[in-house]
Amino acid sequence: MNQFKTVALLGLLSGLLVAVGYYLGGSGGALMGLLFAAATNLFSWYQSDKIALAAYGAQPITPAEAPGLYNMVKKLSDRAQLPMPRLYIVPSPSPNAFATGRDPEHAAIAVTQGIIQLLPEDELEAVIAHELSHVKNRDTFTQAVAATIAGAISWLAQVLQYSLFWGGSRDDREGGNPLGLLVGIFVAPLAATIIQMGISRTREFAADNGSAELTGNPRALARALQRLEAGAQQIPLEANPAFAPLLIVESRSGQFLVNLFRTHPDTQSRIENLLKVEKEMQAQGRLTNSMGF
């Protein structure tokens, strides 16, 4: 079901891109929009890991520098039948982590100094398992595609604004609909952002479930999420907002309007999902040690 939602949301993004391109330049504009997205997707496929790591100032670490962390990631990678990812440390007291890379063979996992200091071993292991699940599900690539298409829509909307300012839109010249112009400039980029956030939220539940399967301890991730949300709100991890969907938790809080633009499901919903998974695993005899909150 999550895969279906992801494909459907990516399809909506692509449809928006074609619609804005068509409004800007007819069938030729739609084609140019698709070609632009294809070119930027190719770039992001090869460079997304470097860009994300640089955005957070992540520094590579060796097994000698962090043997405990390295052994933890190696054990979980072997269990998940994944290649050992490159490891990075983000020099920030904000507790957070993320995975990046175009495929499992080119993956990287970054953790902040804050998360290492905050979480006990079983909870840090659950976080690492969550990130490895993103790698296994190729979510990092999906997010790169979503971000690129959403960015292309925003760029085309800006072009539409400039063309209107300097000489009018195609619809102006043909006596077109001003409502369509409003949609192209304002509504389409907003819708693209909301759809991009929806893709991220869908993939987070899948990675949470993957962590539970990999560690056999869903409650460890539930406890970690509680700690991380509180810590991330107190000390946000600053970077380009485009990379926020990569993080395991975000710093925003609030009700409807703010939640609409959340890159992640609200933490309580994620915890409830993990406790439901715990009951299912317990009934099947697949739980390891699972302490209470």
Catalytic residue among 123, 125, 131, 204, which? 131
Pick the closest to residue 158 from 129, 186, 122 (CA basis).
186
CB atoms within 10 A of CB 182: 11
Burial class (CB in 10 A: 0-12, 13-18, 19+), 175: exposed
Are 263 and 197 in contact by the 8 Å Cβ rule? The answer is: yes
Q: Which two tokens stand for residue 100?
A: 């990046």
Q: Which two tokens stand for residue 38?
A: 């294809």
174 noted as active-site residue: no
- CB contact set of 191 (below 8 Å; sequence gap of 6+): 12, 16
- Measure the CA–CA gap between 32 and 245, rounded to whole angstroms: 27
Element (H, E) at 48: helix 2-55
- For the annotated catalytic residues, the residue numbers are 131
